[in-house]
Structure formats: structure tokens, C-alpha cells
């Protein structure tokens, strides 16, 4: 079964807009990475102040391969060096999970 990697971002209130804007103009490269299955940027509503970057992968190896290559590019603002804007997040930690069960809606009709 798949694995889930969540990057939990601590974002000061006045930086939320900046963070969401940065994701709105993200590289979009992860979609083409081998073994990539899903991405969501989750905005906190209740119970936490952390934004979650939810990613789901076919295997740990696929995630590691993305981390070593495409992720670095995707986190350099697309410019590959040069002026990197100050990060919107003041902290981050990566959480790892294995998918134990899953369900999707039954096809209708």
C-alpha cells in the first residue's frame, strides 16, 4: 500500500496569504514524479494552526527519489538560486505514515 508524507508548516497569521500565494504559483513538478499519487495543501480551520502539505506516494523509495531531485528544484522558487524570498513558514516538520486502509466512493449508475 501507499505511504503518506505530510509536511506540517508553522505559519504566522500575517504570512498565511503569502504562503498560499506561493503554493498557487508552485512549480507543479511533483505531478510528473514517478510514484506520486496525491497532493493537497490543507489550510487549518480548527484544532491546529499548522498548514499541512499532504503528499501520497506509491513507496518510500519514490518519495526519497523526489526528495533528492525534483523537490529541491521545486523549493527554490523555480529560479534555481538567485534571490530566494524569505520563507513564509517559520517552522516545519515531516510526518510519515503507511496507508492501512482506504476507501473511495462507489461509481454511480
Q: Which residues here bind ligand HEM, judged by CB under 6 A?
A: 5, 7, 9, 19, 22-23, 26-30, 39, 53, 55, 74-75, 77, 87-89, 92, 94
Q: How far is the CB of 28 from ligand HEM (least distance, A)?
A: 5
Q: How far is the CB of 86 from ligand HEM (least distance, A)?
A: 11
Q: Pairing mode, if any, of strands 50-57 and 3-10?
A: antiparallel
Residue whose CB is less far from ligand HEM, 2 or 92: 92
Residue whose CB is less far from ligand HEM, 66 or 107: 66
Per-position DSSP letters for 36-84, written without gaps between them: EEEEEEE---SS--EEEEEEEES-HHHHHHHHHTHHHHHTTTTSSSS-P
DSSP conformation class of 3:
E
Residue whose CB is less far from ligand HEM, 5 or 50: 5
**Cα 40 from chain centroid (whole Å):** 7
Q: Could you tell me which of 99, 104, 10, 9 has the C-alpha nearest to residue 56?
A: 99
Residue whose CB is less far from ligand HEM, 25 or 102: 25
Q: How far is the CB of 45 from ligand HEM (least distance, A)?
A: 20
Amino acid at each position: 500500500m501507499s505511504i503518506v508524507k505530510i509536511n506540517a508548516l508553522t505559519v504566522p497569521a500575517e504570512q498565511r496569504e503569502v504562503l498560499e500565494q506561493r503554493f498557487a504559483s508552485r512549480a507543479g513538478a511533483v505531478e510528473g514524479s514517478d510514484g506520486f499519487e496525491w497532493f493537497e495543501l490543507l489550510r487549518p480551520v480548527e484544532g491546529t494552526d499548522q498548514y499541512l502539505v499532504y503528499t501520497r506516494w506509491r513507496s518510500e523509495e519514490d518519495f526519497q527519489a523526489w526528495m533528492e531531485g525534483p523537490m529541491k528544484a521545486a523549493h527554490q522558487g523555480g529560479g534555481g538560486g538567485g534571490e530566494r524570498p524569505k520563507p513564509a513558514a517559520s517552522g516545519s516538520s515531516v510526518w510519515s505514515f503507511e496507508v492501512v486502509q482506504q476507501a473511495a466512493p462507489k461509481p454511480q449508475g
